[in-house]
């Protein structure tokens, strides 16, 4: 009796290559953005918080020094960093992060 690979196992074995492909694609797209600084932080930080203002100021100064600003593209700290980059006229790149708990797991299963 030979080993039989069912359809689910076959799909799972190719999953690794799809993930690697996504990583390579992302690195390729970001490869020309230099120099750059990445700023991630709490999405809960409000604009009236002192850390929000400090983040905006740091990103503005970095932008004026020629750095692009890369963030998670969300609110809070990342929004402040994007605003600072905008004020400096620097490139601002928001990378959307999707966490497993943001998905309906039933939708991910075959």
Write out the chain's pLDDT in tens, 110 residues.
555 666 666 677 777 888 889 889 988 988 888 899 999 889 899 999 999 999 999 999 999 999 999 998 888 999 999 999 999 999 999 887 666 555 555 554 44
pTM for the model stands at 0.70
Q: What was the pLDDT predicted at 48? A: 96
The enclosing H or E element of 94 equals strand 92-94
CA 9 to chain CA mean position, Å = 30
* Assigned CATH topology for domain 34-108: Rossmann fold (3.40.50)
């Amino acid at each position: 009796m030979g080993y039989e690979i069912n359809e689910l196992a076959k799909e799972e074995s190719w999953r690794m290559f799809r993930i690697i492909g996504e990583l390579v694609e992302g690195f390729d797209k970001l490869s020309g953005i230099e120099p750059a600084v990445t700023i991630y932080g709490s999405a809960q930080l409000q604009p009236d918080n002192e850390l929000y203002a400090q983040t905006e100021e740091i990103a503005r100064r970095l932008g004026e020094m020629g750095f692009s600003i890369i963030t998670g593209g969300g609110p809070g700290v990342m929004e402040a960093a994007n605003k600072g980059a905008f004020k400096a006229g620097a490139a601002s790149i928001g990378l959307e992060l999707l966490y497993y708990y943001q998905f309906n797991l039933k939708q991910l299963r075959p």
